[in-house]
Amino acid sequence: MAFYGGSFDPLHNGHFAVSKALVRQFELQEFVFIPAFHAPHKPHRIPTSPFHRFAMLALATADDPKLSVSPMELQLPERPYTVETLGRLLKEMHPSEIFFVMGADSWTDICTWREWEKVLTMTNHIVVTRPGYPVNVNHVTEAVRAKIVDLRNGAPNPVEDHEHETRIYISDAVQSDASASRIRARIEENSFDWRTDVPKTVANYIEKYELYT
């Protein structure tokens, strides 16, 4: 079971492609999006209402039984850090195997996360590469580097890697350069080509509620 945390402001085709590809690559029974109320490591930007972002995710995943959305970070009185969210998931999902998904940009900034080394030992992690964002490992400790399994270089199928120690998988299953910030900018500029970068239901929702204008 995989959990994908992020702002999803808005959800775009790159996010959606990640969910589909990882379900296949890791033979996942369920893939859950967790929209953040306000990502603590992005303090300088006020995100769109979390309820709009949740609604867009719900619309986009409605027709796929393996995809769902969790409101767990929206229901808490305080803005949880990833270390707290993973602790809650481990308690609720035990003994299920958990994968936490992050993009290449999040991996680059991982050392700014609260208790980041603990975060990387709590569950399995999947780092999804993205064009223009080289995935480096020099910024993490040697202990963390020892946990990395690079699936880009002909490593064993992740489904067959059943050791008890948690792993950090680097996957290039999706090569998308879709960007939420670029989509927001194009909407603000009254450009219509952004619609091709988001699911149709999300595009209709953005237009109906005049988001990002």
DSSP 63-130: T-TTEEE--TTTSSSS---HHHHHHHHHHHHTTS--EEEEEHHHHHTGGGSTTHHHHHHHSEEEEEPB
> Does a structural domain hold residue 94?
yes
> Does a structural domain hold residue 182?
no
> Does a structural domain hold residue 60?
yes
Task: Say which residue, 159 or 133, is predicted with more confidence.
Answer: 133
- The predicted-structure confidence for 50-60, as pLDDT tens digits, reads as follows 999 999 999 99
- The predicted-structure confidence for 73-115, as pLDDT tens digits, reads as follows 888 757 788 999 999 999 998 888 999 999 998 999 999 999 9
> Does a structural domain hold residue 205?
no
> Does a structural domain hold residue 149?
yes
> Does a structural domain hold residue 68?
yes
* pTM tops 0.95: no
Task: Tell which residue, 57, 96, 97, 60, has the closest CA to residue 73.
Answer: 57
CA dihedral of 49, 54, 33, 93, whole degrees rounded to 10: 100
- List beta partners, residue 67: 31
89: containing domain: 2-177
34: domain CATH number is 3.40.50.620
- The predicted-structure confidence for 152-171, as pLDDT tens digits, reads as follows 866 656 665 555 689 999 99
> Does a structural domain hold residue 211?
no
> Does a structural domain hold residue 41?
yes
Instruction: Please tell me the total count of domains within the chain.
Output: 1
Residues 6+ apart with CB under 8 A from 173: 18, 21, 22, 24, 25, 128, 151
pLDDT for 194 beyond 90 = yes
